[in-house]
Amino acid sequence: MSSNALHFEVTHTCKTTKARVGRLKLSRNHTSRGPIETPVFMPVGTQGTLKGLTPEQLHQLNCRIILGNTYHLGHRP
């Protein structure tokens, strides 16, 4: 097993644009629903919160992954 926390496996590549489609795997603790197929809609929460979508909307969109950017909260809570 790789020591990297994330592993991206390319499953298809567009011959024209070279765009890639693949599968994102978390090495240590796979998501409860398995690998995440890409491309994927991934909401991004800045300053520790997700803006613009309600929890109900996230549920309806069947979001598989959410990025929470909280680095700056340690410097300016």
32 and 1 in one domain? yes
47 and 32 in one domain? no
- Pairing type for strands 20-26 and 6-13 reads antiparallel
Q: Which two tokens stand for residue 29?
A: 């603790």
Residue 35: domain span: 1-40
77 and 53 in one domain? yes
Q: Which amino acid is at 52?
A: G
pTM over 0.85: no
46 and 16 in one domain? no
pLDDT at 77: 61
32 vs 34: CA distance, rounded Å: 6
The helix/strand/coil state of 49 is strand
Instruction: Give the count of domains, the chain.
Output: 2
50 vs 54: CA distance, rounded Å: 9
pLDDT at 72: 73
Q: Which amino acid is at 28?
A: R
Q: Which two tokens stand for residue 48?
A: 């520790």
